[in-house]
Amino acid sequence: MQWSPRPAETAALAVIGLGLALAVVLVDSAGRLLVGAAALLVLGLAARDALLRPRLSAGADGVVVRTLAGRRHLPWHGLRVQVRATRRWGVRGRTLELDTATGPDDDGVLVLLGRRDLGADPEEVARVLRGLAA
């Protein structure tokens, strides 16, 4: 099983970033700085989404999470899968939480992935991962 950002969202980010980059020539000097920074940010997000595919994959021996620093393998033994729901400013968000800490003295690894990172609802992904771990 694999989860990645939706290709359409990645393509939309790239198009918006290119549009902002082209708009830099149409604005004044202060606007160039702001629009240029926005273009770099949006193009950076699109590049990250394109490079880190698949973001999360699961197999018989555990899960693999791709980050900018490389791949991280998390074996099923000791892996805790949770969905954390938060509410800020009236907006509800859910994140998939993968934790390998076994006790208070163990640092372990904590990975948080949202719906945009996974391209799917974190609750559905957690259900699938729990089924594979059993």
One domain, residues 71 and 128: yes
Q: Are residues 67 and 26 in the same domain?
A: no
Q: Are residues 45 and 89 in the same domain?
A: no
How is residue 120 annotated by DSSP? Answer: S
Distance CA(61)–CA(9), nearest Å, equals 30
Enclosing domain of residue 22: 2-51
Amino acid at 77: H
Q: What are the pLDDT digits (tens) for 20-38?
A: 999 998 998 889 999 999 9
Q: What is the DSSP letter of 26?
A: G
Residue pair 119/102 in contact by the 8 Å Cβ criterion: no
Q: Are residues 69 and 43 in the same domain?
A: no
* Total of domains in the chain: 2
Tokens 């900018």 correspond to what residue? 68
> According to the model, what pLDDT value does residue 5 have?
93
Same-domain pairing of 76 and 122: yes
64-82 pLDDT, tens digit each: 999 888 998 988 888 889 9
82 and 128 belong to one structural domain: yes
Do 44 and 61 fall within a single domain? Answer: no
Q: Which of the residue ranges 1-10, 44-53, 85-94 would you say has the lowest mean pLDDT?
A: 85-94
Same domain, 17 and 81: no
Looking at the structure, tell me whether residues 79 and 110 fall in a common domain: yes
- Write the DSSP symbol of residue 68: T
pLDDT score recorded for residue 105: 63
Q: Domain check: are 32 and 12 in the same one?
A: yes
47, 60: one domain: no
Query: Which residue type does 19 have?
Result: G
